Amino acid sequence: MSFKVLVSDSLAKEGVEILKKAPGIEVDVKTGLKPDELKAIIGQYDGLAVRSATNVTADVIAIAEKMKVIGRAGIGVDNIDVPAASAKGIVVMNTPGGNTTTTAEHTVAMMMSLARWIPQATSTTKGGKWEKKKFMGSELFNKTLGVVGLGNIGSIVADRALGLKMHVLAFDPFVTQEKAQAMGIELATLDQIWERADFITVHTPLTDKTRGLLNKDTFAKMKKGVRIINCARGGIVDEKDLYDAIKEGKVAGAAFDVFVEEPVPADHPLLTLDEVIVTPHLGASTDEAQVNVSIAIAEQIVEYLTSGGIRNAVNVPSVSPEALPTLQPYLRLAESMGAMQAQLAQGNLKKVTVEYAGDVVNLGVAPITVAFQKGFFDAITEGVNYVNAPVMARERGIEILESKHSKAEDFASTITLRTTTDKGEHVLVGALFGKNDVRIVRIDEFLVEIVPTGTVVLFENEDVPGVIGNVGTAMAKHGINIVQMYVGRTPSQSGTAMSVVLLEKPLTEEQVKELGSLPAIIGVRQAVLGK
């Protein structure tokens, strides 16, 4: 059997050669295709290799009749409609480890350039000036670096900073104290980082929780003279508030590799400031990284097409084709529960127990446990798939336990997640209704019945009249459409209840605060599913 693979973005020649030399594979390299041009030819290909330029939309996927695998040479798959590919049975792969070191090194280079004014001094010296006094720098030795997000890239940055004899504070609620101590760093809250750090670098995905994470309020809490580095995602730092903080003298400088709008507009206010260093999204731009991701994705595509082997798939676990149809609803349920728990559980994570009860114990539950981990980490970081999710848990020192019970109390099968943090235990229970309909049936001590999709907002409230009306009125004031609402009580009817609301889009931080101030509301939490 022969297969055709289209390479539609620039791939290093080493990767293209692997595809061309593979027996039974014919390769076409056609870069710079316009959407209509891609649609005109995509139907003849079994495989597609892309980077970030090609947008593999649902429209493209719909007419890709022969397509079996899409490979992204890089971490992010935001230019690929993964749900559409999954619905059509197309495997989507990425290369999550290919860019980590180079992005971390770029962050360190930006920090050192920021401390010593290297780009600015280079520019004026080449312009015929000799301004030693103007560019008085700052040592990194004995300074405190605040790392927000201790995933693959953040961990490497922290390690390199320790080599420079810096003190490292890190915020990551999914890293245990034991793991942090082993790395030689100090876990801290965000407020502690704002108050103590001389340099702050962010390494989180851009989500509704991290958008504008560094803003005028957080800048006000920081030390005078702090320096900010963002080589992660544009939007994590509020660019207007940063401009104001630099002009006011609160922030001494900033180094940005990413912006909200890219290419960055020529009239962007930050570009007018001498205190700001910028690069055009170069985090992954090294010869080694480009070659590594190209080789990796080429090998993965060849392996899948020729032998069915799956590596670094973002939408398919390692399950035999025969078992997948039976396991699929449980995998969806576990992944949704993991994503919910990552966003709802409070405190630093220590241990997770996955309990299986009923008919599900007769299946191979290992992939279901992996699906939970995939959903969990996908909600808090990038580059997560069914292969590397368990590795992420081990690297963070998180203990994952399994237990099985032959009988479920109220359903044919249930999956229970017990998440232990330094603030207590958080519980989610999921079940299947029929063969395919997934539901969350318990949140902590509250009995509920919700479909885990979209935006889920939890209101813990006093069990008194008027709560639902107040919530509905507040939502209507902001034009927010409620898709579904469910009110759950504890079995003991202890005087508190939980109202669960499903929305079409997430609430803003201000809206969450407003809803939390309503009469009889004890607390509000939000989880965004289907990232």
Q: What is the DSSP string of 45-83?
A: -SEEEE-SSS-B-HHHHHT-TT--EEEESSS--TTB-HH
Question: How open is the CA angle 236-239-244, to the nearest 5 degrees?
Answer: 130
Task: Give the SS3 label for residue 123.
Answer: helix
Strand partners, 425: 420
Contacts of 208 (CB under 8 A, 6+ apart): 506, 508, 526, 528
Tell me how long the chain is: 531
Q: What is the DSSP string of 149-194?
A: --SHHHHHHHHHHHHTT-EEEEE-TTS-HHHHHHHT-EE--HHHHH
Per annotation, catalytic residue among 262, 288, 399, 504: 262
- The burial class, CB within 10 Å (0-12 / 13-18 / 19+), for 214 is buried
| Residue 262 annotated in active site | yes
- Among the listed residues 272, 249, 222, the one whose alpha carbon sits nearest the alpha carbon of residue 237: 222
Per annotation, catalytic residue among 203, 233, 426, 442: 233
Residue 283's identity, in one-letter code, is G
- The burial class, CB within 10 Å (0-12 / 13-18 / 19+), for 229 is buried
Per annotation, catalytic residue among 72, 227, 281, 426: 281
Active-site residue numbers? 233, 262, 281
